[in-house]
Amino acid sequence: MSLSQSKRSYLIFLVIIVILFATDLISASDILYRAIHLNSLFTVVFCPVLIFWGFSVNSRIIMPQVKRCLVAISVFLLMLFVIRTCRWEFFYGIPRVNIFLWYMYYIPFVTVPTLSFHASIRTGTDPESKAPSYVSVIWAIALLIIASFLTNDLHGQLLIIDDDYSYTHGWLYYVFIAYSVIMTIASLVILFRKCHLSLCRKQIHIPLTLSLTGCVLTIIYLAIGGSPELFGIKLYHIQEIYSLIFIGLWEGCIIIGLLPSNAHYRKLFSISHTGAELISSDQSTHYESAGQTASGSSEDLIQKEFGISGGLVRWTEDMRTIRNLNEELTEAGERISEENDLIEEENRIMEEYGRYETLNRLYDSIADHTRDTVTRLDAALSDTDSFEKNIIPNLLLGTYVKRCANLILLSGTSKEMSSEEISLSIRESFETLSIAGIDCMLTNSACGKVSSDAVIAAYDLFESVAEKVINDCSVISVGILPASGVILKIETDAAYSGNDLPDRVKKFRSSVTIDEGEEETSIVFRGDVHD
């Protein structure tokens, strides 16, 4: 917005003010009054202005919600003039109709500020979004006030009318005044904040000046209880300056660009570098941008056009920028693809490394856990005579190493395992004990989840008992009873004191019970068993 355009806006508004005062002075002439039969000549002048402004807003404003509000404002302002004219010129002698028009006269003073507030809320927002919920509440309040106007004959709280048609204002009148003032001020504040946050903040004085001029004249009107007079002639009427408040406010917002409109095409084309032309139906160019026109010979310039009412828009698209962007995107995509491959390979290596590290840790754990047993086996294998004499105990040691390694590997994948794993390990050890002529019996009532450490400790306990009694017992019975909380119950006819429990079992010493009788020894290992 140039400085000359700002001055032009002020000049147009000043001309309207001068016309307002001039027509009111002219309307005071008895000759014109008799000829026109209107209370104010400005009514005749201003009604076409309001109609023109309404059509202008409808054709210029882009946002549909704001457009509907501003068109409705022009309609209700026009209604203000029409009702006033009808009341004083056509129905003045019909009391009931005159009073009803009197009540309706107040309706625009409620709807116009509400519409202005609604439009200010929607300015600068997404056209597809919904208005805030409090806007509906404000409209409900406005409708209640209007309903109270039209039912004043029932309650008399707006106007208290005497038989001679003199009147006083009730409390509802002051509520209506307060509501109108609050909505008007709220509209100004909201638009002021949106101007302050937008690029048009340097020109905020334009809508404020145009609107506040009408506000000042309204305050003067209310302060002196009517229109100011010059030589006994009224200078203006309330509906005239009231219209200027809202027309000035919103027209100022359109001028500074806060309210988007489809005006100023010439300026748009002059600053555009898109190579666009606006062509009429007779193929004459009305507007042409400063960018590359359609006559360019480069193969990178593609001409396009789109039909509009009364002609078409033709523009030139420079594909060089798009081609360069596509090349950059392709190159970036290839780099990303390569980086993704590297990341995937790195993740695979890290996963493989983690798996090997876990296996190494488990193998170390197996080696530490079975070191003593393996040492004993190694010593037995080194002495052939000793190995042959103790072949069954050595087979039992070998079975233990195999099954214990399997249990430790399983413990690396889960903190719990099925009690069935104990059953499988003991069953394999029973095959060796059976070779020694020992009657073996295994009872597994049900499966349950047991901590991995407890499973390994239970098998260590069984191995310890088996090694101690292999040469002395004839019967060994093992029960796995998860339902009763018993991980392992061993019964044998040989003695077992339990003085030399394995290290892992010692951690569960409080869970191990040994009952050594004269003919039978019972060892019970209890623990937490989960379904």
Three-state secondary structure string covering 101-170: HHHHHCHHHHHHHHHHHHHHHHCCCCCCCCCCHHHHHHHHHHHHHHHHHHCHHHHCCCEEECCCCCEEEC
Q: Is the pTM of this model over 0.75?
A: no
What's the CA gap between 87 and 92, in Å, rounded? 6
Instruction: Say yes or no: 233 and 273 in one domain.
Output: no
- Please report which confidence band the pLDDT of residue 299 belongs to, taking 50, 70 and 90 as the band edges: low
Instruction: Say yes or no: 338 and 420 in one domain.
Output: no
State the pLDDT at residue 91: 64
Angle between helices 238-256 and 41-60 (to 10 degrees): 30
- Span 146-191, pLDDT tens digits: 888 888 777 777 777 666 666 677 788 888 888 888 988 888 888 8
Instruction: Say yes or no: 506 and 414 in one domain.
Output: yes
Instruction: Say yes or no: 136 and 47 in one domain.
Output: yes
The answer to whether residue 458 is domain-embedded is: yes
The answer to whether residue 360 is domain-embedded is: no
Cα 228 from chain centroid (whole Å) = 55
Instruction: Say yes or no: 208 and 330 in one domain.
Output: no
Domain-terminating residue out of 353, 383, 398: 353
Instruction: Say yes or no: 342 and 257 in one domain.
Output: no
Over residues 291-320, the mean pLDDT reads 66
Count up the domains in the chain and report the number: 3
Q: Which among 13-17, 60-64, 440-444 has the top mean pLDDT?
A: 440-444
State the pLDDT at residue 294: 43
Instruction: Say yes or no: 327 and 349 in one domain.
Output: yes
pLDDT of residue 5 exceeding 50? no
Tokens of 151: 């039912």
State the pLDDT at residue 28: 46
pLDDT of residue 33 exceeding 50? no
Alpha helix stretches (DSSP H) within 286-416: 319-369, 371-382, 384-389, 391-411
Give the domain range for residue 309. 264-353
What mean pLDDT value characterizes the chain?
75
- Span 57-66, pLDDT tens digits: 887 787 888 8
